[in-house]
Copies of this chain bind each other. A is one copy, B any other.
Amino acid sequence: MQRLFLLSVLLLTVAGTKVLAQSTPPSDSVFIRRLFDEALSRGKSYEWLRHLTTRIGPRLSGSEGAAKAVNYTRQLMEQEDFDRVFLQNVMVPHWVRGTREKAYIQIGNQKTEVPIAALGGSVATPKTGIKARVVEVKNFQELRELGRSKVQGKIVFFNRPMDPTKLNTFEAYSGAVDQRGNGATEAAQLGAVGAIVRSMTTRLDDFPHTGAMRYGTGVPLIPAAGISTNGAELLSRMLKTNPELEFFFQQNPETLPDAPSHNVIGELKGTQNPEEILVVGGHLDSWDLGQGAHDDGAGCVQAIEAIRLLKALGYQPRRTLRAVMFMNEENGLKGGMAYADTARSKKEKHLAAIESDRGGFVPRGFGVVGDAAKRAKIIAWQPLLAPYGLHEIGPGGGGADIGPLAQQGTVLLGLIPDSQRYFDYHHAASDTFDAISRRELEMGAASMAAMLYLLDKYGL
């Protein structure tokens, strides 16, 4: 590799002038081009992700998969000869789905099965399931206006779709996900016996999507499940002609005692300002239905690859670079909080943190959160990144796991891939390795490496 590097330095011309010696550092644009070349021709992220998703598989906090993923990514960073690889202890929630859920719509003696999945954190139904009449609503306001008399003893069916006209599908998600997070609580307050929530996707298909829900205090814990969008459409249609129909569902998830787990951290030591830390990361846990490919195996392998790319080009970081595999983003954020707590208690100075947690799709930019002057400095790098399709560098973004670092003034950056396909896979059985495009994944990794390079070189 080193010989290849020297050769390419000798051969490359920068702004028309031959670079004559390795000691002349390449211009930023040349160096960033090399990062993309390396990622696209000798990238490792795709094969790492193949292992993480098809050999290890789903990695819900507390699961065997999560523990294997901790070991695997630790080994990866050791094999890639990071200066230091270490684990950080985290206690995480341990929710298990139990056996496969069952649900059907019943009209008279006719039963029509529909695909559901318990929402993460939900309680079980009674062993024999729940059968009840259904009240369909689009939002909490509508539910409250119905009042206890119309809701009591029924299953509430939350059926407000994600708004398909939002170009940024994360905005559409934000506009609908209250149903999943708080639907059961809102329903239980009016005496409902269960909550069924339309899956968070604009696609019409047969995959129920899971995801975290929470119970309010002082409210009965009623079981909650996601229903596939086709299932939701069917139920809604059948309710129009048969408002008295009954819905049956049966699920037996369980919340076990909190379990020990880990953040996994790999580090390149800074050569000039080692006390200043730059983080690049993703979250290692995933929901249990698919393989956690886009959410967020992609972000994890991209973070490790971002640092590998810099190493592969012989780059000596001025500051300390860390790849962090956060644990438990999906149902607790314990890893992100523990990381920030440790940073604070050890008085570590985190200049910036980059997270990739929006899928392994083609990158379109970075969202930047933090001090205005620092944001402006980062946004001014856009011309260096635009040739790689990274046009959208602006305010907003960040990431859940790095969020807790904001307290110490760390600038937060979120890789922004194209969002059109993300919710086709998010939290569903469809989130598998074969939904990953190798090139798109690699370009995301190179984008993160380029941003890390600029942050390291110029500081904040």
Contact = CB atoms under 8 A, between A and B. Distances in A.
A42 to B, nearest CB: 9
A73 B202 CA distance: 27
Interface string A240-273: 0000000000000000000000000000000000
Interface residues of A, number: 26
A112 interface: no
B364 A389 contact: yes
A421 B441 CA distance: 11
A388 B165 CA distance: 11
Contacts of A420: 362, 437, 439-440, 443
Contacts of A439: 164, 169, 202, 420-421
A165 B37 CA distance: 5
A36 interface: yes
A424 interface: yes
Nearest to A442: B164
Interface string A382-425: 00001111010000000000000000000000000010110010
Interface in A147-192: 164-165, 167, 169
A416 to B, nearest CB: 11
A192 B213 CA distance: 67
Contacts of A424: 437
B418 A362 contact: yes
A91 interface: no
A203 B165 CA distance: 33
A167 B41 contact: no
Nearest to A166: B40
A36 to B, nearest CB: 7
A387 B166 CA distance: 11
Contacts of A322: none
A438 interface: yes
A36 B167 CA distance: 9
Interface of A: 36-37, 40-41, 164-165, 167, 169, 202-203, 362, 364, 386-389, 391, 418, 420-421, 424, 437-440, 443
9 contacts: A36-B167, A41-B164, A167-B389, A167-B443, A202-B439, A362-B420, A418-B418, A420-B437, A421-B440
